[in-house]
Amino acid sequence: MVAVLFWVLIVGFSFVLELHSNAFIAVFIGFGAAISFVLALAGLPFAFQAGAWLAVSAITLVTLRPFAMRRFHHHAFEINMSQPTNTAMTDMHGFVEMPVGDATHPGRVKIQGESWKAVTDWPAQLPDGTPVVVKKAYGTTLWVDPV
């Protein structure tokens, strides 16, 4: 009975942890604990339950987590930013706060007192303090050129 309660607590803790982290790690640990919960109900020894928990968690982390990350997470470096558009920010002027590079090395610019994520098509990185003008945007990422 203690083992059943233990696995229920691990499943619950994993669920809460995944809600707060969204890293797709705790969900697989919780899945392993759910399998061990079933094994505990079947009356198998705790050592077997723990081994199954570790094995199932490891196997699902290695095999299913990459799929889940591709399916549910959209990181900035994975977003296709090849189709930016003109926006209300187009032609606004500001300056570089953090060095601005290409789409894989974004920086920050300050425009009208607000800080924005920015990238440039220029071959060289734009250093701090460089005056810039907004040429286009993709979502909240601005494409800037030096003035």
Which residues are CB-neighbours of 89 under 8 A, at least 6 positions away? Answer: 111, 116, 134, 137, 142
Given a contact cutoff of 8 angstroms between Cβ atoms, the answer to whether 60 and 32 are in contact is: yes
Instruction: Please report where in the chains the tokens 């920015």 appear, as a residue.
Output: 118
CA dist 9 and 69 (Å) reads 26
Asked if CATH classification 2.40.50.140 holds for the domain at 79-146, the reply, yes or no, is yes
Average pLDDT over all residues of the chain: 90
Which residues are CB-neighbours of 104 under 8 A, at least 6 positions away? Answer: 77
DSSP3 helix / strand / coil % (the chain, rounded to 5): 45, 25, 30
User: Across residues 90-114, what is the average pLDDT?
Assistant: 94
Does residue 79 register a pLDDT over 80?
no
CA dist 68 and 62 (Å) reads 11
CA dist 139 and 38 (Å) reads 46
pLDDT tens digits along 104-142? 899 999 999 999 999 998 999 999 999 999 999 888 899
pLDDT tens digits along 24-44? 899 999 999 999 999 999 999
Domain ranges of the chain: 2-72, 79-146
pLDDT, position 81: 58
User: Across residues 66-76, what is the average pLDDT?
Assistant: 73
User: Across residues 74-99, what is the average pLDDT?
Assistant: 76
Does residue 80 register a pLDDT over 60?
no
Does residue 75 register a pLDDT over 60?
no
Instruction: Please report where in the chains the tokens 């003008």 appear, as a residue.
Output: 133
Q: What is the pTM of this model?
A: 0.51
